[in-house]
């Protein structure tokens, strides 16, 4: 009698476990795992929503730039576009490059966008801007190391505005190509005394970039020129230190 009871009890327990599966119901284990699956689905949905929202946010910020919004609202939009901006934002930002109040923030928005159209927009604006706006645009060309801007910057080494000359020399240094270093070397004898230190700074930067790229002989030639040039004492001392550190070990 006891054996029969145990068989019945075992069968009942088995049925209680297998029955829900056969009926398409949740088992205790499935019920336990269900919240985790739901959480994962929600997370994936949130990520998808965020990805879809990004272009919408960029479009909203671009609309602010194109509107009659206050200067601060446009400046904030430039700042945010520097974080999320794509090719679509380049034109609206570039349109503000010659704006006296918003040029700086427009450059802030443009500089991080990884698209060569930014460099083209900056070069184009450099042909139109004057004064402080031009100085800032030249600085941005240097930050982006646009080697296509070497000719443009070389012309500005002869500008009547000392700030433009100095900004161009430093930007050429940041670009750091052989063409940039040659432009600085050629301009040096014709450069006004007040601007020569910036040209030397540009040459130092060129040499450092070239050395970092493995062009040690080209870098050494620049350092040697500055060591023997009728340059300020700090320039000659810096060139001596650079030559010493550039010697093969």
For residues 213 and 208, give the distance between their C-alpha atoms in angstroms, rounded to a whole number.
9
Query: Tens digits of per-residue pLDDT, 201-228?
Result: 999 999 999 999 999 999 999 999 888 8
This model's pTM is above 0.85: no
77: Cα separation from own chain's centroid: 17
Query: Tens digits of per-residue pLDDT, 47-79?
Result: 454 345 456 999 999 999 999 999 999 999 999
Of 240, 199, 235, 203, the closest CA to residue 219 belongs to 203
What pLDDT is stored for residue 232 in this prediction? 85
The CATH architecture to which 58-133 belongs is Alpha Horseshoe (1.25)
Is 115 or 54 the better-scoring residue by pLDDT? 115
What pLDDT is stored for residue 45 in this prediction? 52
Q: Which of 109-113, 219-223, 241-245 has the highest mean pLDDT?
A: 109-113
What pLDDT is stored for residue 54 in this prediction? 56
- Among 122-126, 198-202, 214-218, 235-239, which is the least confidently predicted range? 235-239
Is 244 or 208 the better-scoring residue by pLDDT? 208
Q: 58-133 with 145-249: one CATH topology?
A: yes
What pLDDT is stored for residue 25 in this prediction? 43
Name, in order, each residue with C-beta under 8 angstroms of 94's C-beta and a sequence gap of 6 or more.
106, 110, 121, 122, 124, 125
What pLDDT is stored for residue 249 in this prediction? 62
Burial class (CB in 10 A: 0-12, 13-18, 19+), 20: middle
Name, in order, each residue with C-beta under 8 angstroms of 177's C-beta and a sequence gap of 6 or more.
147, 150, 206, 209
Domain residue ranges of the chain, discontinuous segments joined by +: 58-133, 145-249
What pLDDT is stored for residue 231 in this prediction? 84
Confidence check: pLDDT of 235 > 70: yes
DSSP the chain: -HHHHHHHHHHHHHHHHHHHHHTTPPPHHHHHHHHHHHHHHHHHHHHHHHHHHHHHHHHHHHHHHHTT--HHHHHHHHHHHHHH--GGGHHHHHTTTT-TTTHHHHHHHHTT---HHHHHHHHHHHTT--HHHHHHHHHHHHHTT-GGGHHHHHHHTT-S-HHHHHHHHHHHHHH--HHHHHHHHHHGGGS-HHHHHHHHHHHHHHHHHHHHTT-HHHHHHHHHHHHHSS--HHHHHHHHHHHHHHS--
Mean pLDDT of 138-153: 98
The third-level CATH classification (topology) of the domain covering 145-249 is 1.25.10
Mean pLDDT of 195-202: 96
For residues 236 and 136, give the distance between their C-alpha atoms in angstroms, rounded to a whole number.
29
């Amino acid at each position: 009698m006891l054996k029969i009871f145990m068989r019945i009890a075992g069968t009942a327990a088995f049925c209680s476990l297998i029955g829900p599966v056969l009926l398409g119901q949740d088992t205790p284990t499935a019920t336990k795992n269900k919240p985790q699956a739901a959480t994962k689905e929600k997370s994936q949905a949130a990520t998808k929503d965020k990805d879809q929202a990004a272009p919408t946010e960029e479009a909203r910020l671009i609309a602010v730039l194109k509107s009659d919004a206050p200067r601060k609202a446009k400046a904030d939009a430039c700042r945010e576009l520097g974080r999320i901006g794509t090719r679509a934002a380049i034109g609206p930002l570039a349109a503000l490059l010659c704006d006296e109040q918003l040029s700086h923030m427009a450059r802030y928005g443009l500089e991080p966008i990884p698209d060569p159209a930014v460099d083209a927009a900056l070069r184009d604006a450099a042909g139109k801007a004057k004064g402080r706006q031009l100085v800032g645009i030249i600085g941005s060309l240097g930050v982006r190391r646009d080697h296509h801007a070497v000719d443009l910057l070389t012309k500005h080494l002869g500008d009547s505005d000392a700030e433009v000359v100095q900004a161009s020399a430093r930007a050429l240094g940041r670009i750091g190509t052989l063409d940039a270093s040659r432009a600085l070397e050629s301009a040096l004898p014709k450069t006004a005394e007040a601007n020569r230190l910036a040209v030397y700074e540009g040459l130092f930067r060129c040499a450092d970039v070239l050395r970092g790229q493995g062009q040690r002989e080209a870098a050494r030639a620049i350092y040697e020129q500055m060591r023997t040039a009728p340059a300020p004492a700090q320039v000659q001392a810096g060139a001596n230190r650079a030559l010493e550190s550039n010697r093969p070990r």
